[in-house]
Amino acid sequence: MTNPTPITIALAQLPVPEIQPLYNEGNIPLAAGYLQTYAEANASSPTLDIRIIPRHIANFGGDAAILEWLMESQAGIVGFTSYMWNVERNILIARRLKKQIPGIITIFGGPEISPNHWTLYESCIDYFIVGEGEQTFIDLAIRLYHGLPAQRIIIQENYLELRCLPNPYLQHIIIPAEGESMFLETMRGCPYHCKYCFYSKSYSRMRYFPEEIIHPFFALARQYKVPEVYIMDPSLNVAPGLEARLDRIAAANDPAIPLHTEIRLESVTPEIARAMKRAGFHSAEVGLQSINPRALKAIQRSFDREGFIAGAGNLQEHDIDAKTGVILGLPFDTARDFEATIEFLIDLDLHESMEIYPLSILPGTRLKDEAESLGVKYMNRPPYQVISTPAMPEEEILSAIGIAEDRLGIEFFPPVIPLFRNQYHPLLHFLDLRFEPNQTLDRIFQNPCCVGHSITVMWSRDSNHPDLRRLAAWLEEYNPSTLVQLVIDRRDIPTENEIELISSIWHRDVSYFDRIHRFKIHRQPHHAIRVFHLTDNLAVAESYLWQPQFCDLLLRYSPKLLTRGMDILEEKPLLLIDTPIPDEQMRILSELYLGFESFLVTIP
């Protein structure tokens, strides 16, 4: 008897949309890895051939490159791991995939998918999996393989025993890239029930992976020479026998690889802090959110002020960095309450690692159910950020961001920085159209799959030039998710009308990338299409610093800056170095831009 032909399943997890590679490189397909390991370990699923999209295509490819790989995989089923930052792009890819291969089956799962989610109205999605996916996904795939009927929305009911779920790193399904952290999941479930979080609603009890995996995991991490291991527990302190558990981690993590996790500061006694240090922890995320009791009660968070202060001191005594989370826009939090929370952390010397997040009203959470009664207004599409509350109108949220920036010496929204190099050959992330644009475009138009997730375009001609319109139309047709940074190389400042004309060439809806920058003060219509003015004119550069313009300044380096433009350099504008410069000049620039190294932009 011949073996049945297996059904091929392709799995895709797309990254946070970003120009610089930080978030892309952190897009580790752990969920897809667990699906594959479970399928391979499950004797009842030999009919499934699971393939995960290659990391370089998922992380750096444009829509056309991702679509091409999915089509060439000859998959009968495509599964999309959905987060709020990629669900809209997942839908775009699924629509195009269905158009090309009408019979293909699409399944959406991941943290974004919840009952009554807005994606349920999308006809390009055949099935939804709510909650933990490994067994549910495989069971669904086998039913479909045998032609059996299945519900469109499948809510996980039976929990998988975690001892039956092999680790995808140890099975060599996920191979960390050079310089990339490894993620270790040791438990699932959370005893806390914060109203803004959907995680605890997916799990009714705590479950633990077998501790036998810890020693081989750390041995593999040392073999790969990873810079950090992130222990992904929702809160490290909820595991029973924490100090003994930390000692077991210490024994496995020798010599120590730096560790990172999440923990409640109130639980960090002197003994726990010492045990964390022995285990190798160098940092931990600690959620504070607010010190306003009424705001915390509204989101069902507890806060022991004295315990928090003591825990912070215990970590600091052992040089463990406490990355403290604060949420902006909580119900009943005023701008003054938000400022008081920041001052509290400054007094504890926790402000340098403070992380501030605008509140997101996530689908499926209890806070979403209560948002209307609380008078909270928020975006109806990802990232679902709060726009206003009765205690904090929109203009006060904006002013609170300014207060945080002034008190902490940070930029809440780091500037968009063009990228003048290709991140992964042969994908195209930089295109110079200053010379022979027609011939260059004719050449790249032959291969839509060459375009990356982001592209910097150098331009020096008329803003209404036909070639620029050709490029915009072509990108919109084949790679509408690609972020565009248009760098106009000229001496005079583009006018408002020119910037509006350029932006109108790209007929784009507001995207996740635009929404995530909603509260950034700027004068351009979009963030996903960002216009920069490249100049070496010092007078023009000064006008940008003191008079906001309608595009972003990109200052071209010239030696005269070190003699006549030091006052400009002190303001840390984006600086393009497109010709070789002497080592001494580079040393001076490096000292001037200490802490702002990403603002020094080079063309190889």
Same domain, 133 and 252: no
Q: How far apart are CA 387 and CA 367, in angstroms?
A: 15
Across 13-40, average pLDDT: 88
Residues of the chain above pLDDT 70, percent? 97
Same domain, 216 and 135: no
Across 29-37, average pLDDT: 95
Same domain, 184 and 306: yes
* Range of the structural domain that residue 181 is part of: 176-359
Cβ-count burial 421-457 (b if 16+ within 10 Å, e if not): ebbbeebbbbbbbeeebeebbeeeeeebbbbbbbbbb
pLDDT at residue number 1: 39
Same domain, 462 and 344: no
Omega of the bond leading into 604 within 30 degrees of 0 (cis)? no
Encode pLDDT of 142-162 as tens digits. Answer: 999 889 999 999 998 778 899
Residue 234 pLDDT level (bands cut at 50, 70, 90): confident
Q: How far apart are CA 190 and CA 202, in angstroms?
A: 9
pLDDT at residue number 44: 62
Across 174-187, average pLDDT: 93
Choose one of 155, 185, 220: the last residue of a domain.
155
Across 381-403, average pLDDT: 95
Choose one of 155, 184, 204: the last residue of a domain.
155
Sheet holding 529-535, edge to edge: 428-432, 451-459, 483-489, 529-535, 552-556, 575-577, 600-602
Q: Is residue 128 part of a domain?
A: yes
Same domain, 129 and 200: no
Same domain, 450 and 561: yes
CATH of the domain at 583: 3.20.20
Encode pLDDT of 435-474 as tens digits. Answer: 999 999 999 999 999 999 999 999 998 888 999 999 999 9
Q: Which amino acid is at 104?
A: I
Three-class DSSP labels, 162-210: HHHCCCCCCCCCCCCCCCCCEEECCEECCCCCCCCCCHHHHCCCCEECC
Same domain, 239 and 303: yes
Same domain, 352 and 311: yes
Encode pLDDT of 258-309 as tens digits. Answer: 999 999 999 999 999 999 999 999 999 999 999 999 999 999 999 999 999 9
Q: Is residue 103 part of a domain?
A: yes
